[in-house]
Structures are given as C-alpha cells and as structure tokens.
C-alpha cells in the first residue's frame, strides 16, 4: 500500500522486549534478595513477586517491601535494597531496541514518513525508556496517555491523526496489543498493524481485527512497499 504519511508505534513489546527485561530483572532481584538473606526459594519468590505486581500494578513503588514483609523480619532494608540494585542494574542491560527497530525506523524516515508514539503509562517513565533506548530523536509526535485518556480510547488516536495533520487513512498504528493498539485505532479509521512475535492471540470481535499482521517490525517494509 502507499499514501501513508505517518506511522505511530506503541513502545513496550513493540520497539523493545519488555517481557524479557521484566523477567530477567525480577529474577535477578529475587536472587540478590535471597543472597542478602531472604528466606524463600527462587521459584516461589519469583511467583510471589509476580502476584504482588499483578495485585498492586506495575507502577507501584514498593513491590519489594511487600515481598520482604512476607518472608523476613530481620535485615529487611538490606534485602529490599539488594533487590532494587539488582533490578535496576539488570534492567539497564536489557533496555535495548529489538535488533530490527532502528533499521526499520531509519528506512521509514528515509522515505519521508513521519513517525510517532502512542503509549499508555506514566509520561516521564515512558520518556525515560525512549531516552535509554536511544530512540528519543526518531519521533515527530510523542503522545503518552495521562490517566484521563488512555488507549484504547479512540480519542487518543484521533488526536494523534490531527496532530500529524493527516486524514486517518493516511496513518498507521503499529502495536502488539489487540485491545489497546488495534481496537481503538480501528475505530479512529487508522490502518492497523499487529506485531505478533510469539503466539498470536485471536481477536474476539471483527472490529478488533488488524488490517495487517506481522511477525516483527521488518514486516512494515513489505506492507509499505519500501
């Protein structure tokens, strides 16, 4: 297809592997906490941590405090700090784009297509990721939801189309999440591309089906004939 003037991307699991980052960082945090005296096995500790993250949400600041409270009375600040240091040290090593991310973004840039971000999350945290990924200069429009209006609300996508000065059919939304990235963008009349790196979750409703399905970002080059 041609005539696309602006391509918008989700960040997490679209531009970099946040699943791998989270698992490696959390597992190393558990190991460090056990070395610092936490009385729990690695697997049980990891499962308990995931449970706490699910319960409290990913942006809660004290997952390790809650975890350590479960298993340990003594030395708790030392154990919490060991977990925090291991988590952040590991995270920095995994905050890298997918191997194809930068080559594909450069190729899109070369053809004059405008690039944007449409992301849910805490704005400063999402910007931190873009900066650490080295991607902060690639995007002409960065739209990060505040609490009030989040993906999949179609208004966030409509706003993005307006900001790019385009008609919806001249734009494309690329993401890994059927509900957040595809459903709302479909409603806004954008072209939609689902990146399904692993197993593909099937959309339940026809309205949530993406226009295109790709295995990784290189698939965009085929869709756009570049």
Q: What is the DSSP letter of 16?
A: B
Q: Which of 33, 130, 174, 185 binds a copy of itself (CB under 8 A)?
A: 130
Determine if 127 is a binding residue for a copy of itself (CB under 8 A).
yes
Determine if 148 is a binding residue for a copy of itself (CB under 8 A).
no
**What residues between 77 and 116 interact with a copy of itself by CB under 8 A?**
77-78, 80-82, 84-85
* Contact assessment for residue 133 and residue 15, using Cβ atoms and an 8 Å cutoff: yes
Determine if 173 is a binding residue for a copy of itself (CB under 8 A).
no
* Contact assessment for residue 113 and residue 5, using Cβ atoms and an 8 Å cutoff: yes
Q: Which of 106, 131, 162, 207 binds a copy of itself (CB under 8 A)?
A: 131
Tell me the backbone φ, ψ of residue 2, rounded to 5 degrees. -135, 180
Q: Which of 20, 109, 125, 201 binds a copy of itself (CB under 8 A)?
A: 125
Q: How distant is the alpha carbon of residue 129 from its chain centre? A: 9
Which part of the chain contacts a copy of itself (CB under 8 A), choosing from 8-16, 75-83, 102-110, 202-210?
75-83
**What residues between 25 and 44 interact with a copy of itself by CB under 8 A?**
none
**Bridge pairing between strands 114-119 and 6-9:** parallel
- Give the C-alpha separation, 179 to 191, whole Å: 15
**What residues between 177 and 216 interact with a copy of itself by CB under 8 A?**
none
* Contact assessment for residue 159 and residue 151, using Cβ atoms and an 8 Å cutoff: no
Residue that has been written with the tokens 């960065």 in this structure? 142
Residues found near a copy of itself in the complex (CB under 8 A): 65, 77-78, 80-82, 84-85, 123-128, 130-132, 136, 142, 144
């Amino acid at each position: 297809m041609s005539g696309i003037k602006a391509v918008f991307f989700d960040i997490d699991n679209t531009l970099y592997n946040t699943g791998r980052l989270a698992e490696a960082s959390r597992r190393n945090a558990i190991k460090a906490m056990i070395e610092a005296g936490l009385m729990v096995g690695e697997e049980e500790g990891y499962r308990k941590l995931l449970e706490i993250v699910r319960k409290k949400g990913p942006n809660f600041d004290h997952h390790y405090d809650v975890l350590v409270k479960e298993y340990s009375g003594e030395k708790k600040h030392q154990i919490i700090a060991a977990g925090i240091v291991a988590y952040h040290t590991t995270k920095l090593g995994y905050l890298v784009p997918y191997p194809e991310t930068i080559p594909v973004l450069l190729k899109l840039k070369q053809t004059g297509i405008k690039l944007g971000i449409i992301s849910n999350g805490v704005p400063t945290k999402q910007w931190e990721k873009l900066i650490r990924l080295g991607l902060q200069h690639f995007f002409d429009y960065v739209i990060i939801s505040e609490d009030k209006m989040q993906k999949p609300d179609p208004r966030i996508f409509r706003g993005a189309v307006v900001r790019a000065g385009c008609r919806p059919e001249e734009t494309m939304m690329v993401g890994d999440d059927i509900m957040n990235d595809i459903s709302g963008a479909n409603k806004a009349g954008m072209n939609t591309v689902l990146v399904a790196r692993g197993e593909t979750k099937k959309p339940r409703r026809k309205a949530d089906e993406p226009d295109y399905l790709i295995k990784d970002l290189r698939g965009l080059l085929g869709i756009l004939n570049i």
